[in-house]
Every structure is written in C-alpha cells, then in structure tokens.
Amino acid sequence: MSSPALLPADASGPDPRLALADDLLTLLRTTTTETRPDEQLEALTLAVAADLPVLLWGEPGIGKTAALTQLAASLDLPLTTVIASVHEPTDFSGLPVLGDDPATRGVPMAPPQWAVDLVRAGRGLLFLDELSTATPAVQAALLRVVLERKVGALRLPPAVRIVAAANPRASAADGWELSPPLANRFVHLYWVHDQDTVVRGLGGVWPRAELPRLAPERLPDAVAYARRAVCGFLRARSALIHRLPSAEARRGGAWPSPRSWEAALALLAFGTAASVSREVLALLIRGAVGDGPGLELLAHLDRMDLPDPEALLADPASAELPERGDLRQAALEAVVAAVGARPRRERWEAGWRVLVRALETGPADLVVAPAAVLASLRRDDWEVPESVERLAGVVALARRADRSVLRAAESAGAGR
C-alpha cells in the first residue's frame, strides 16, 4: 500500500493544514468565566490581596497552574512562572559579578532575567512552581525572595504578588519536605478538584477569580477586631504563640509562630472587611497557623460574637440572637447559665422571655434543652410565668419524640 503523497509546502506561508489545526486549537482554548461561588478560589484571591505568599498544595493535574493563569488574567497582572526545581540557588540569591574596584565597592549579585522583567513591569504575579521538588539549597535561597522580595541585589516592586505550588511528597518526582523556615512564610491552601467546576470548565466556562470587595467604612473596625481577637486568644493560649511540630512532615506545612500569627491577623482583618464566609475564613486561618491552632482561634471568634447574656436578660423583648444554629444554642445556654449563677425570680422570668423571643425568631428545637435547664432552676415560691405556656407545647412535643425514638431503639434491640 502506497503512502499518501505529501502536499508541497507553500513558500509564501505556513502549510494550510497546520493553519486549520491552529484554528481548531484556538477554538478549544477559547473559554469564558462566570461569577460562581468557589471557596478555595475566594481564599486564594483574598490572600493575594493581603499580599501574603500563598502555597497551593495538590496532586499533579489538579488545576493549580490553570487557576493561577486565570487569576493573573482576571487581575490583569503579567504572570511570571519559575520552576523552582530546575534552578540553581544563585538564580534566586544572585550571581556574583566582578565589577569595578571590587575591593572597595564589593562584588554585586546580578539578578536573573525574570526578576529584571518584573521590576521593569512594576507589577506582576510570580508563580514558583514545583516547590516541593526544589533541593534544600534552592529552598534556602528562596527565603529572601518570599519574605523580603529580594532577588540578588534587586528588590521586587510592592505590586508583585507571590504564589507557589507544590505536590505532596508521595506524588512529587524526587520530592523533598519543605524546610520549616520556608514553610512558615506561606499561607498553605490545599487545592482539590470540584466535579461541577471541572465539568463546567471543560465545557468552556470557568469560575472567575475576583479580588475581595472591601467595604471602606469597615476597615478601621476590621483591624481593631482582628487585633482584639488574635491578641486576646494568644493571651489565653500563650503556648501556641510558637510551636514547631515535632514530626518532620508537619514542619513543612502550616504551624504557629509570631510570623504566621501576624499573617492570620492580616487575613482576619481582610476577611472581616470583605465579609467573607466562615468557610473561606477557616481555610485561610488554618492555612496560616495550622489546623489545631486555627480551629481554636475560630472557636474563640464564635465566643466573641455571642451577645452578652446580661444584655439579653435586661431587654428580652428586643433580644438579637445569632442566626447560626450553634451560636444561637450557645447564646441561649449562656442566658440560662447567667440565671443559674444569680438565681432571682425576676431574672428567671426574664430568661423565659428570652426563650420565647428565640422561639419567635428561630427554630423551635433549639429552645428545648435550655428550657429544661431553666425549669430546673425554679424555686418553690416562684410562680410559673405565662410565657412558659408558649413553650410547653414545644418541650412536650420534643419529649414525645425522644420517647418514640427510645421505644424504637428498644424494639430493634429486642428483635435482635
């Protein structure tokens, strides 16, 4: 069987078959974006806005590079990608160059071309890829780049943001654990794929990366709130100010230090000013100081947001209770505890009025447990207030449901 004859190349232009192939590639690469909730993308853009170095952890092919490319395009920032693992330490610390009169002027450290280009542009997104496959010597050279924004003798402009990406050691080619000094300079975000995002993106529509919308009038209060929250928490949990993990693998992630608490404070201020969701805030704070300390700080924030139980008892009719179920439950429990701490008839009756207010403005099931405890605080000479009648049906219904569940469980046990 003879092979097909090759068409002669046109000396005046490219082969038309390649031009047609290029047209098809252009169509495949043409995508659009849409505003769509994406917590990890929102966390990334907020950390970038806060000018904190971010490290994206994720398996190969998960879309870390694509997210950074789209982020740079959305923010209109030139993207500079540097594969850390294929560079030498001098590519970040600078190459010594012999100049005039080195004995008195010293030996200057010449920066690489990519750093010069960023300085000329005055802004940009520096993407340090494959960080976990960089040798310890390269990681050491990157310390000044990430923290001080210096490459050799050149300082990167303030408008340059730094984002890195790494694969877990198990899936990285010749991977290394990140050194603790370098790891502690990053906000660590764990990048995972979302089925809807992938399917919709392959269809040509990706989520749009947008900078957080900061409310100008909230900036002073956001800073004051963040400082009060972090400082108050660390006064109570001073052991968490600096805690280097004992396990080597965990030292390459997020852990608490004065530097990372400073990052957490900045993220909390930005998140508060932008009114981000609790889920996004949790990703950022845990990414700065680690899971354990981060969750403790989040719990501390919840306690700060609870209304004063004495204020609720003083004016039950206009009591403002949290919308979130767990916070509302905690606020009601705090009211009952305050009554128990100073049990007087007028306070006990005010407690019932707070529970009625909760019944009027939220789910009824959250009132059951506090009502049972408040009822147990009654003294013999205290008359039952009329407000209790409004709660009696809810409590009785809940008790009947509990008994039904108990009987069902007993029947199931007897059947076995």
**Mean pLDDT, 10 residues at a time, the chain of 416 residues:** 51 77 92 85 93 91 82 87 86 72 65 89 92 88 89 88 85 73 94 85 84 91 95 90 88 94 97 94 96 93 85 90 86 90 91 89 86 86 77 56 43 50
288 and 376 assigned to the same domain: no
Q: Nearest Cα to 129, choosing from 190, 184, 84, 63?
A: 84
- The predicted pLDDT at position 401 comes to 40
pTM: 0.75
Task: Please return the burial class of 318, using the count of CB atoms within 10 Å of its CB with bins 0-12, 13-18 and 19+.
Answer: exposed
Q: Kindly state whether residue 403 falls inside one of the protein's structural domains.
A: yes
- The predicted pLDDT at position 208 comes to 82
Q: Give the count of beta carbons closer than 10 Å to the beta carbon of residue 48.
A: 24
> The domain spanning residue 138 has which CATH number?
3.40.50.300
- The predicted pLDDT at position 63 comes to 79
- The predicted pLDDT at position 406 comes to 42
199 and 154 assigned to the same domain: yes
- The predicted pLDDT at position 297 comes to 94
169 and 53 assigned to the same domain: yes
145 and 290 assigned to the same domain: no
Tell which of 305, 335, 369 closes a domain: 305
- The predicted pLDDT at position 405 comes to 37
Q: How many domains does the chain have?
A: 3
- The predicted pLDDT at position 13 comes to 65
332 and 271 assigned to the same domain: no
Whether 346 and 384 have beta carbons less than 8 Å apart is answered as no
Tell which of 207, 241, 274 closes a domain: 207
Range of the domain at 159: 35-98+107-207
Q: Kindly state whether residue 3 falls inside one of the protein's structural domains.
A: no
- The predicted pLDDT at position 407 comes to 46
Q: Kindly state whether residue 319 falls inside one of the protein's structural domains.
A: yes
